[in-house]
Amino acid sequence: MDCPNCKTWNPDDKVVCWRCQAELPKPKPQKKKKLSGGFSPWMWVLVVVVFSATLLAQCLFMPNVIPGQ
């Protein structure tokens, strides 16, 4: 990105110009959101809840196995 004040090139992550310390305009937001596998965060919560419920149900409804019998 070029500085609007002195036209010096600055890296895109710079907030102020390295040469004249002028404030640089914010770069355009890139629409590249890397969500894990396209899943929303609440989706993962749902998966964990369902998984936990299944695991809990298995523990509750499984017949108790007494060792040594």
Contacts to Zn ion by CB under 5 A = 3, 5-6, 8, 17, 19-20, 22
| Residue placing its CB nearer to Zn ion in the complex, 27 or 56 | 27
CB of 5 to Zn ion, least distance (A): 4
Is the Cβ of residue 19 or residue 51 nearer to Zn ion in the bound state?
A: 19
CB of 1 to Zn ion, least distance (A): 10
Q: How far is the CB of 30 from Zn ion (least distance, A)?
A: 23
State phi, psi for 41 to the nearest 5 degrees: -55, -40
Which one, of 48, 27, 30, 28, lies nearest residue 39 by Cα?
Answer: 48
- Going by C-alpha positions, the residue among 27, 24, 26 that lies closest to residue 5 is 24
Centroid of chain to Cα 13: 20
